[in-house]
Structure 1
Amino acid sequence: MSITPENDDSSVPQRHIFNQVDMDAFAASDRRKEIMNFVETIGKSCAEGAAAYDPKNPLEGLTPSMASLHGSLETMIEWVDEFPPGDARAARFGNPAFREWHKQLLARSSAIITSCLLARGENLSLEGACQRGKEAAAGSFPASEDPSIGQLSCYLHDSFGQPIRLDYGTGHESSFLVFLLVLSKVKCFGEPPSKKSLAAITLSIFHQYLKVTRRLQTDYRLEPAGSHGVWGLDDYHCLPFYFGACQLHASSQAFGGELSSPNCINFEQTVRDHGDVFLYLSCIRYIRELKKAAPFFEASPMLYDVSQTMPNWDKVSRGMIRLYQGEVLNKLQVVQHFVFSKLFPATWKSSQVQRPAPTETFRAATAIPASGASGAMPPTRAPWAT
């Protein structure tokens, strides 16, 4: 089952971006190109046909490996019930019970990945693969002792939030994206994957992933990492808006109807009726549920602006992919946390030696310059803004 040569003595996965010098190297590297190529490829797979996702049959179109991952994600939601949040009145953000949830992730990630890898070469039904993924996440499936599993698990560990800072943001979302990327490299998407299969994987797995992260965000009150608040796209996510816009472009091209215009997000009944199927509308519905006290145009001005100014979903998807580049991949504050491995190797020598991670919550925060002050991080202007 090994995914790397036995005589490969490469170092363990680690960070390689510490400052602007490393950032410049990453920006010109094959790794950044690889991320963007992967994002665009799976986005286009959703846009090149009516990428149907049936929430009543979420395994349809998946490979056994991805059905196994889907099952594990289903069970990971149940871990929240094993580690219920404590008294939420102690802090506005960040319930320490999330650390126990994350410890379970570290303990069971090897079994989750082992199940995915074994499913490549076995004649399993999708339901059987999904059940085994659930067993792996429940702790009743043995993990492989193959050290190469660590080349994958490092990305899964970083996909759901930071247990020390008790936060979640687009960097963690991007780690999950890289996790899927390295799974594709080890043939978990099929060989070669079809566009239909890529669309099914993207929509089904991200729908399920969002179910996990939303439960973590609401129950453990994880702080938005580096959030721009209501002036940004979303407190936590970016990629589902791109994939969701691609999916709606496919649907509007094939069927037209009430979902053909981006303005459809302003009709609450439409969002409620179609949120289970369409990823973009699922995100809008979640935002509306969280921010009931304010009108949508006040709670999410950028998304509202998109709905009013963009003529079609193709334009929205193009803007979202540029926003991902600008707000995530071009931000040192985000990509400095990326981990590089044999399956996702850095092609430059980092300027620093990796430092040990902190073991406790930061006690004092560095003062953040006021907007427009010297040293303040400039926001990325929305691609559709004039």
Structure 2
Amino acid sequence: MNPESVIGDGKKMDSGSIPSILPVNHRFVEPEKAVKTVTDMAVWEKSEAYMEYTGFIATLNEAIKSKPLSVDCKVSQNVTKIINLLDKIDKIIDEFPPVEQPQRFGNTAFRDWLSKIKSNTTCLLQEALDQQLHLAIPEIKVYLEESFGNATRIDYGTGHEMSFVMFLCCLYKIGFLNIEDNVATVFLIFNKYINISRRLQKTYRMEPAGSHGVWSLDDYQFIPFIWGSSQLIDQPKVYPPAKFLEDDIIDKYADEYMFISCIKYIKEVKKGPFAEHSNQLWSISAVGSWTKINQGLIKMYKKEVLAKFPVIQHVLFGSLLPIRRFPINH
């Protein structure tokens, strides 16, 4: 994503003071699936949505480079509004405790929780977004609703994580968030989302969606490893990278670096030797620099998530993240 597409062009929307890159007569649409066959993957990889999404990840990856979570960053009113929205979503988990059931995984109380969330997203977004952006809600709310897992299978995976990052990307596209919010978007909003996702996974014993077993990076997440490794570039506290496997390093820095927090979570939910249950991460620990790890994870994400039809067939496309071809002269 070029800076203009994050910042906006400074023009005002017709009835308010939020800068937006959208024309006044922009028509929002309800997002739909567009990648229906394996051959459609070529369309996706040349689409505006693909370029905007990967560019967005790269932009935020750069913004948080070498910074711990405790860094003093600008927290705008709009960032606070999204955090408050997520707080409300988090609290609703308390209303739906797990039910007694014969099967161990996939507690059906999750379905009731998600149903309540979906019936509340419009109101939550109306409270968070300025009045002149309410027209965008039918389009962006779908990304938020798809961020927490699948009600039928009671599972969660990288496609749901992707939906939340697309939701964030849309908040930039409509001008609600801007370049000054980049660090807070990752450290406060996205990190809050990851904590909610972990709580859901534990509370409702959610299945990993499309897990590759020990050969995947993690059962549930990918992006916090990308952004988390960027945080660790040029940080002597966790160097060489192999130190991320050490218990004292995990205890000391899990609250400062997302990557370490991910390792801590894996060690909490998985038993046995780390090299056996998390082979990919074990292999990564041998790489000599966090810069190389970060670059390698971005490549791996494109190959193992964004190039996989079983993930992309569920992606939704609208006016903000369109499936149309990315213009070459953009």
TMscore range, shorter length: 0.7 to 0.9
Partner of 1:70: 83
How far apart in 1 are the matches of 2:35 and 2:75?
34
Alignment pair present for 1:238 and 2:222: yes
* In 1: Cα distance, 2:128 partner to 2:321 partner: 18
TM-superposed deviation, 1:9: 6.0
Query: Does residue 314 in structure 1 map to residue 291 in structure 2?
Result: yes
Higher mean C-alpha displacement, 181-190 vs 233-242: 181-190
Deviation at 1:53, TM superposition (A): 1.9
Matches within 5 A, 1:1-386: 11-47=29-65, 50-54=66-70, 60-88=73-101, 90-118=102-130, 146-190=134-178, 193-194=179-180, 197-250=181-234, 252=235, 256=236, 258-291=237-270, 293-308=271-286, 310-347=287-324
What displacement does 1:8 show? 5.8
For 2:84 and 2:123, the matched residues in 1 are separated by: 12
Aligned-partner SS, 1:249: coil
With normalisation by structure 2, the TM-score equals 0.87
State how far apart, in whole Å, the 1-side matches of 2:52 and 2:305 are. 15
Give SS of 2:285's match.
helix
Aligned counterparts of 2:27 and 2:54: Cα–Cα separation in 1: 29
Shift of the alpha carbon at 1:12?
2.6
How far off its partner does 1:10 sit? 6.1
Report the Cα distance in structure 1 between the residues aligned to 2:117 and 2:24, rounded to whole angstroms: 26
Q: How far does the alpha carbon of each residue in 1:59-93 deviate from its partner, in whole angstroms, 9 at most, with x for none?
A: x52221121111222232222210011125x2232
- Per-residue CA deviation, residues 20-51 of structure 1 (Å, 9 max, x unaligned), is 2322111121221111111111001111xx42
Letter of the 1:259 counterpart: V
Change in Cα spacing, 1:312 to 1:333, as seen in structure 2 (3 Å) is same
Count of matched residue pairs: 307
1:6 CA displacement: 8.2
Displacement of 1:116:
3.0
Q: Assess, with a 3 A threshold, how the Cα gap between structure 1 residues 297 and 334 changes in structure 2: closer, same or farther.
A: same
- Paired with 2:244 and 2:87, the residues of 1 have a C-alpha distance of 28
- Asked whether the equivalents of residues 48 and 322 of structure 2 are also in contact (C-alpha less than 8 Å), the reply is no
Tell me how far 1:199 sits from its aligned partner.
2.0
Identity of aligned residues (%): 33
Describe the superposition over 1:273-292 as per-residue Cα deviations: whole angstroms up to 9, x where unpaired: 1101110000000000111x
Distance in 2 separating the partners of 1:108 and 1:286: 29
Q: Hey, what's the Cα distance between the residues in 1 that align with 2:187 and 2:227?
A: 8
For 2:119 and 2:285, the matched residues in 1 are separated by 43
Q: Which has the larger radius of gyration?
A: 1
Cα distance in 2, alignment partners of residues 5 and 96 from structure 1: 44
Given that residues 61 and 201 in structure 1 are in contact (C-alpha distance below 8 angstroms), is that contact kept between their aligned partners in structure 2?
no
Q: Give per-residue Cα distances to partners, 1:254-285, cap 9 Å, x unaligned.
A: xx2x3122111121011011101110000000
Distance 2:75 2:113 in 1: 27
- Residue 7 of structure 2: aligned partner: none
1:44 to 1:91, Cα distance in 2 relative to 1, 3 A: same
Alpha-carbon offset, residue 111 of structure 1: 2.5
Change (3 A) 1:6 1:168: same
Distance in 2, Cα, partners of 1:249 & 1:9: 41
> Structure 2 regions of 5+ residues with no counterpart?
1-14, 326-330
- Structure 2 residue identity aligned to 1:82: E
What CA distance in whole angstroms lies between the structure 2 residues aligned with 1:77 and 1:12? 25
Alignment match, 2:9? none
Q: Distance in 2 between matches of 1:230 and 1:20?
A: 25
Whether the 8 Å contact between 2:33 and 2:316 is mirrored in structure 1 is yes
The offset of 1:231, in angstroms, is 1.8
Q: CA deviation at 1:112?
A: 2.4
